[in-house]
Amino acid sequence: MLAACAAMALASVPTMPQAQSAGAYLAAREAGARNDFAASPAFLDRLLEGDPENRMLLNSLLVNLVVLGERDRAKQVATQLRALDPGNEVAGLVLVTEAFARQEHQAVLDLLAAAPIGNDLIDALAPAWAQLGTGSMTEALDTLDSMAAREGMAAFALYSRALALALAGDAEGALAVIEAPEHGVANVLNRRGIIAHAQLMALADRAEDALALIDTVFVEPERDPRLARMIDAYSQGQPVPFDVITGAEDGMAEVFAVLATVMRQARNPQDGLLFGRLALALNPALSDTRLLLGQLFEDLDQPELAAQIYAEVPEDDFFTVSAAMGEAQTLFSLDRVDEALAVMEGLAERHADMPAVWHVLGDFRRFDNRTEAAVEAYDRAIDLIRTQGRAPDWRLLHSRALMNHRLDRWDAAEADFRAALADEPDQPTVLNNFAYSMVERQENLEEALEMIRRAVEAEPDSGYFVDSLAWAMFRMGRFDEALPHMERAVELLPSDAILNDHLGDVYWAVGRQREARFQWRRALSFGPHDDLDMDRVRRKLDIGLDRVLEEEGAPPLHARQDGED
């Protein structure tokens, strides 16, 4: 809870009596509450001018600097904080990391001897990797063995032992650790761990086993330059050098990277950012960790920082496609729509044979109401998938169905809706949207009603699905049956303009004109909405729903009586 504690620290700092300091304090506290790492340091610096040895302020500043990747200043602050508070965990982590980065392994051991970090995994593994860095392999392995005997730490300690042996050139010894059934290491390997396993197999003259492992685990391994090189070499009976780690600092980077992943899984994004940044300080090539940082920034509603970190993934990296998609998503969330689309369009040019790229590009075009262009992208994705001998999944078919429906290409839309349901027969969103479309077209109403019932049964608290159920009954003239469902829909989504408009129509249909007009007014107050004709609602308020329907050439719900208001 290192970074989380640092963020909370400002809450316990007494407000300064000076107005200027009080303003900086409140601003820093607000920035911390918003996880605004970029804004916080300036406010914290102002506070530290009046209280330069305040350990809580220094700790908060240090966390922000680490998260922002400002290593030089972070080292300075860590040194200052360590002098004031020798046991400070964040300062210790930063100084240990910088010593590893300089390959000053004895300095790492001295720092840890003076004050342990306070994290069991780090306090056990950092000395082992530092010992290995000093050339003390036996001592390092003894340290790892000691850690492996501790509850809950065996798998990672043993994996670290395998990496250490691999680094020393003992491929057979490393494989014995990874593959021993009683250890269970092979069952918990991450992506880099599996690559390490394959490399070690090939180095031990087991190239066929290495190829089989790659083929079993990785989808389209040829898209990863490293895996492509391995496959080419192993197919020719040639090993490649072990390069998952190349030194003690890379081994420590693995520790930090694993902790970053664990912190995200534990929903502790602040500490995840801290450990992720420390991992990259030791091994900038960890693109999966860079991708994780982007996701963590998104988790904390920091899209600008997420976009920046995504953009740092190299173009020739395996993770470049995922990173570019993440960057585009964050840009879109910042209303930088043209930039987001430019990222995706460029990605589609460079990776024109990847269906997923065209699928996501289609989604972005759809969100920006570029309907025809969205269909073109979806068409490309579906064609590529079918060319590869696979069938498109329901998500892609459903997205194209929505766009074709919007373009009044009902035959194409219906075909895609039905194909999506063939792939996922009980998918509630597809059931609802397909059925609602048929209701609006006054086609296959009994089939549509049954589909909507299935959607509501799957998600009974979805206001949109309940609205569809009520609207289907309304369009079938079953007004009394529709009413309780429509009221329930508005209870679930009380501020939705469409649902309030629908409830007004149902009230009108059952003869409750005053309540109908009240709901139409509410609909107007919650508008505008892309799918709500505001002028039509106003016209209903003026003359009533029956006369509006007559004006539109549709049959009224009731025969109009003389003198009706």
Residues of 289-316 as b/e, b for ≥16 C-beta within 10 angstroms? bbbbbbbbbbbbebbebbbbbbbebeee
Q: Is residue 560 part of a domain?
A: no
Is 320 inside any structural domain?
no
C-alpha to C-alpha distance for 195 and 483, rounded to whole angstroms = 60
- pLDDT: which is higher, 29 or 205: 205
| pLDDT confidence of residue 561 | 47
Region of poorest pLDDT, from 24-28, 180-184, 190-194: 24-28
Tell me the two tokens of residue 94: 């930063």
pLDDT score of 138 more than 90? yes
Domain span holding position 30: 1-85
The confidence score (pLDDT) of residue 3 equals 55
- Whether 267 is covered by a domain: the verdict is no
Residue 559 has pLDDT above 60, yes or no: no
Number of domains in the chain: 1
542 domain residue, yes or no: no
Phi/psi of residue 88, nearest 5 degrees = -65, 125
For the chain, the residue count is 565
Whether 46 is in a domain gets the answer yes
pLDDT confidence of residue 279: 97
- Alpha-carbon gap, residue 150 to 146, rounded angstroms: 7
Write out pLDDT tens, residues 145-172: 888 888 777 888 899 999 999 999 999 9
pLDDT given at position 556: 81
The CA-based diameter of the chain, rounded to the nearest angstrom, is 101
**Does residue 74 register a pLDDT over 70?**
yes
What is the structure's pLDDT at 33? Answer: 63
Task: Please check whether residue 342 is in contact with residue 361, taking contact to mean a CB–CB distance below 8 angstroms.
Answer: no
Instruction: Give the contacts of 349 (CB within 8 A, at least 6 positions apart).
Output: none
Is the confidence at residue 31, as pLDDT, over 80? Answer: no
- The predicted-structure confidence for 499-542, as pLDDT tens digits, reads as follows 999 999 999 999 999 999 999 999 999 989 888 999 999 999 99
Cβ atoms of 417 and 433 closer than 8 Å: yes
CA distance 555 to 536: 16
Q: What is the DSSP string of 436-468?
A: HHHHHHT-SHHHHHHHHHHHHHH-TT-HHHHHH
Angstrom distance (rounded) from CA 76 to CA 58? 11
- 323 within a domain of the structure (yes/no): no
Q: What pLDDT is attached to residue 186?
A: 84
The CB-side HSE value for 143 (13 A sphere, CA atoms) comes to 21
Tell me if 60 is assigned to some domain: yes
Mean pLDDT of the chain: 91
Question: Is the pLDDT reported for residue 562 higher than 50?
Answer: no
User: What does the alpha-carbon distance between residue 195 and residue 218 come to, in Å, rounded to a whole number?
Assistant: 10
pLDDT band at 183 (very low <50, low <70, confident <90, very high): confident
Q: How confident is the model at residue 5 (pLDDT cuts 50, 70, 90)?
A: very low
| CA gyration radius, the chain | 31
Average pLDDT over residues 286-304: 95
pLDDT at 18: 46
Question: Does 61 map to a domain?
Answer: yes
Q: Long-range contacts made by residues 269-272, C-beta under 8 angstroms, separation at least 24? A: 269/296, 269/299, 269/300, 270/2, 270/3, 270/4, 270/6, 270/7, 270/35, 270/63, 270/67, 270/300, 271/1, 271/2, 271/3, 271/4, 272/296
Is the model more confident about 435 or about 561? 435
Please tell me which residue, 485 or 565, carries the higher pLDDT value: 485
Q: Which of 179-188, 213-222, 251-260 has the lowest mean pLDDT?
A: 179-188
Tokens of 484: 């309780």
Instruction: Kindly provide the b/e burial profile for residues 232-269, where b requires at least 16 CB atoms within 10 angstroms of the residue's own CB.
Output: eebeeeebbebebbebbbbbbbbbbbbbbbebbeeebb
pLDDT tens for each residue of 417-431: 999 999 999 999 999
Tokens standing for 364? 């972005």
Question: Which residues 6+ apart lie within 8 Å of 92 measured at CB?
Answer: 82, 111, 112, 115, 116, 117, 118
**What number is the average pLDDT over the span 467-479?**
95
- Taking alpha carbons only, the member of 328, 269, 277 closest to residue 301 is 269
Write down the pLDDT at residue 151.
Answer: 77
